[in-house]
Chain A
Amino acid sequence: MKILVGIKRVVDYNVRIRVKSDGSGVDTDGVKMSINPFDEIALEEALRIREAGLAEEVIVVSLGGNECQQQLRTGLAMGADRAIQVDTSENLQPLTIARTFLKVIEKEQPGLVLLGKQAIDGDNSQTAQMLAALWDRPQATFASGLNLSGDTATVVREVDAGLETIEVDLPAVVSVDLRLNEPRFVKLPDIMKAKRKPLDVISLGDLGVTSENDLEISHYTPPPARDKGHMVEDTAQLVAELKSRGLV
Chain B
Amino acid sequence: MSETTTEREVMEYDVIIVGAGPAGLACAIRLKQLKPDLMVAVIEKSAEVGAHILSGAVIEPEPLDELLPGWKDNPPPVCIPVVDDEIAFLTASSKRRLPTPPQQRNHGNIIVSLGALCAWLAPQAEDLGVDIFPGYAAAGIHYLPDGAVGGVIIGDMGVDRDGKPKDTYMQGIEIHAPLTILAEGCRGHLSKELISRFKLDADSDPQAYGIGIKELWQVAPGKCKTGLVNHSIGWPLDTKTYGGSFIYHMDKDRVAVGFVCALDYSDPEFSPFEAFQQFKHHPSIKPLFEGGEILSGGARTIIEGGAQSLPRVEMPGALLIGDAAGLLNLPKIKGTHQAIRSGMLAASHIAEKGNGKGFDEALRASPIMKELHKVRNIRPGFNKGLWRGLITAGIETVTAGKLPRTLKNHADYSSLSKLKDLKPVERHWVKRDLAPRDRLASVYFAATDHDEDQLVHLQILEPDVCITKCGEEYGHPCTRFCPASVYEIVEDADSAAGERLQINAANCVHCKTCDIKDPYQIINWVTPEGGSGPNYQNL
Q: Which residues of A contact B (CB under 8 A)?
A: 12, 14-16, 18, 21, 29-32, 182-189, 191-192
Contacts and interface: CB of A to CB of B under 8 A. Distances in A.
B168 interface: yes
Interface in B132-178: 133, 135-136, 154, 157-158, 167-168, 170, 172-173, 175
B110 interface: no
Given A29-B538, A30-B116, A189 B447 contact: no
Given A32-B48, A188-B154, A189-B11, A14 B537 contact: no
Contacts of B157: 185
Contacts of B116: 30
Nearest to B534: A14
B60 interface: no
B245 to A, nearest CB: 23
A123 B77 CA distance: 30
Interface in B169-214: 170, 172-173, 175
B538 A189 contact: no
Given A188-B154, A189-B9, A192-B131, A12 B170 contact: no
30 contacts: A12-B47, A14-B447, A14-B449, A15-B447, A15-B535, A16-B296, A16-B447, A18-B295, A21-B218, A29-B537, A29-B538, A30-B77, A30-B113, A31-B537, A32-B535, A32-B537, A182-B167, A182-B168, A183-B168, A185-B168, A187-B9, A187-B170, A187-B173, A188-B133, A188-B172, A188-B173, A189-B9, A189-B11, A191-B131, A192-B11
B392 to A, nearest CB: 40
A187 B530 CA distance: 12
B538 A184 contact: no
Given A16-B445, A32-B535, A189 B173 contact: yes
B119 interface: yes
A21 B11 CA distance: 47
Nearest to A18: B295
A30 B218 contact: no
A184 B397 CA distance: 56
Contacts of A185: 157-158, 168, 170
Interface of B: 9, 11, 47-48, 50-51, 77, 113, 115-116, 119, 131, 133, 135-136, 154, 157-158, 167-168, 170, 172-173, 175, 218, 295-296, 444-445, 447, 449, 535, 537-538
A51 to B, nearest CB: 14
Nearest to A187: B170
A14 B158 CA distance: 19
Nearest to A74: B135
A184 B168 contact: yes
A230 to B, nearest CB: 14
A107 B9 CA distance: 38
B218 A16 contact: no
A61 to B, nearest CB: 23
A15 B172 CA distance: 27
A185 B116 CA distance: 26
Contacts of B449: 14
A21 B537 CA distance: 17
A223 to B, nearest CB: 14
Contacts of A21: 218
B534 to A, nearest CB: 9
A14 B535 CA distance: 8
Nearest to B113: A30
Binding site secondary structure of chain B = mixed
A183 B9 CA distance: 21
A183 B451 CA distance: 14
B481 to A, nearest CB: 25
B76 to A, nearest CB: 11
A187 B172 CA distance: 8
A189 B154 CA distance: 12
B168 A30 contact: no
Given A14-B449, A16-B444, A32-B51, A191 B133 contact: yes
A32 B173 CA distance: 25
Given A188-B136, A191-B133, A32 B170 contact: no
Residue of A30, A184, A191 with highest tally of chain B CB at under 10 A:
A30
Nearest to B133: A188
A184 B171 CA distance: 12
Nearest to A44: B168
A21 B48 CA distance: 26
Nearest to A191: B133
A15, A16, A189: most-surrounded residue (chain B CB, <10 A): A16
Contacts of B175: 188
Nearest to B446: A16
A15 B157 CA distance: 22
Given A21-B218, A29-B538, A188-B133, 10 more contacts: A14-B449, A15-B447, A15-B535, A16-B447, A18-B295, A30-B119, A187-B173, A188-B136, A188-B173, A191-B133
Contacts of B77: 29-30
Contacts of B51: 32
Contacts of B133: 188, 191
B138 to A, nearest CB: 11
A205 B523 CA distance: 59
Contacts of A188: 11, 133, 136, 154, 172-173, 175
Contacts of B537: 15, 29-32
Contacts of B172: 188
A168 to B, nearest CB: 27
Lowest 9 A-B CB distances belong to which pairs? A185-B157, A30-B538, A185-B170, A14-B449, A30-B537, A14-B447, A32-B535, A32-B48, A188-B173
A192 to B, nearest CB: 7
Nearest to A34: B47
Contacts of B136: 188
Contacts of A16: 296, 444-445, 447
B204 to A, nearest CB: 35
B538 A12 contact: no
Nearest to A16: B447
A185 B444 CA distance: 25
Nearest to A181: B167
Nearest to B166: A182
Contacts of B48: 32
* Chain A CB within 10 Å, residue with most, of B168, B449, B537: B537
A164 B290 CA distance: 53
Contacts of A191: 131, 133
A32 B47 contact: yes
Contacts of B538: 29-30
Nearest to A195: B131
Contacts of B119: 30
Interface centre among B77, B175, B535, by most chain A C-beta atoms within 10 angstroms, is B535
A206 B352 CA distance: 51
Nearest to A31: B537
B143 to A, nearest CB: 20
A187 B136 CA distance: 9
A247 to B, nearest CB: 24
Contacts of B535: 12, 14-15, 32
Contacts of A32: 47-48, 51, 447, 535, 537
